[in-house]
Structure 1
Amino acid sequence: MREWLGSDLPTFSEKEKEFIRNKIEFIGLNHYTSRLIAHRQNPEDIYFYQVQQVEIIEKWNSGEKIGERAASEWLFIVPWGLHKLLNYIAKKYDNPAIYITENGMDEEDDQSATLEQVLNDTTRVSYFKGYLASVAQAIKDGVDVRGYFAWSFLDNFEWAMGYTKRFGSVYVDYKNGLSRHPKASALWFSRFLKGEAAENKADTN
């Protein structure tokens, strides 16, 4: 890193060095997806991957996708990736308290779908089940996970994608006074938090 960046690297005073040595209170982790990576000298990709000299891989050697893709091209459903990441943080940084501050997936804003269809977000239910199971396993492994925040409660404006992607567990009808309708994932989460969620993984009602 010093060889590549040289004088671009920041310098710290002794006082600053002492300050950043203090133990952190917690780590806030935003996590959505995982990829495989490999070293590549000149990746044909966006600039920050070129600087890092990494290739981002979405498939296994067999050609199979690493996971089902959500609406965004970058977001694959890979629950085991969160389990590995939580254990890595615990091992690398002396098991700090971790709050998962964002975790979720998006669906396309299908203008032709009926309200009943858009509320039946079974893929999102499976996503949350898989990722929460990975969190639970990490806790069993000894990782100090203190909290989990699903992203997101409502459909919202999503960066460059605008309103074309829907991350919410509650559907927002942009054409009819912003009325809100809980999706299947919201109903499942409600029962899950009350300890009433069905044991059957196929059940999304």
Structure 2
Amino acid sequence: MAGVFTVEQLRPIKDGMTISRDAKMGQTTAVTFFSLGKDTSISQERYDVTSIYIGAKGTADFLIGDQAKKEPVSDGDCLIIPGGTLCGVETATGTVYTEIIIKKETNMNSIVKSGEVMKLKDLISYEEGSIANLDVVSNSTMKFVLMAFDEGTGLTPHRAPGNAIIFALEGKATIGYEGKDYTLSAGENFRFDKNGLHSVTAQGKFKMALLLVLE
């Protein structure tokens, strides 16, 4: 699969149901799309490794720790849960999100606070005439990075050494992929395969997150 999509399209909300779909990105980094129907929940559980949650549609309360502290996650929000921490989810309205389970020790940017909801687009600023990069979490098998493209900037065609998903956070861009152009807007995603030839050209200012799985 390659092209523009939304997580909601891949895993639409169904009343009374909790549904998950493996994104098939790799084995060491597990990426899963989740949808929870109105008034549904997932009981608290513990992963031994770091997990990342990225809101795509609706709002969910993540229940963190022994006291089940509530952290609301909605569109464009990110929540990082350290290994060994109890975490569950409940929603009154329905929600869609991406879960990333990182099965190896990670390097985390010092500006990131585990257990606190962050608005991804607010973590990185535009720099005049430039492309800004900020690594959020990384290890030898994955990288989750933010990028801010000032107007008139872009990435020339290149190939990445792993499967990847772009999360468009703000603005609009043209994604060139294997000889075809796609328009990507805030709230949409783009999937490209390992070694797929791709480029990014900002239409005005543009911010995105990139999940690259190196397997």
- TM-score with structure 1 length normalisation? 0.23
Name the one with the larger strand percent: 2
Q: Is the radius of gyration larger for structure 1 or structure 2?
A: 1
Q: Where is the helix percentage greater, Structure 1 or Structure 2?
A: 1
Greater relative contact order structure (CA < 8 Å, 6+ sep): 2
TM-score, scaled to structure 2: 0.22
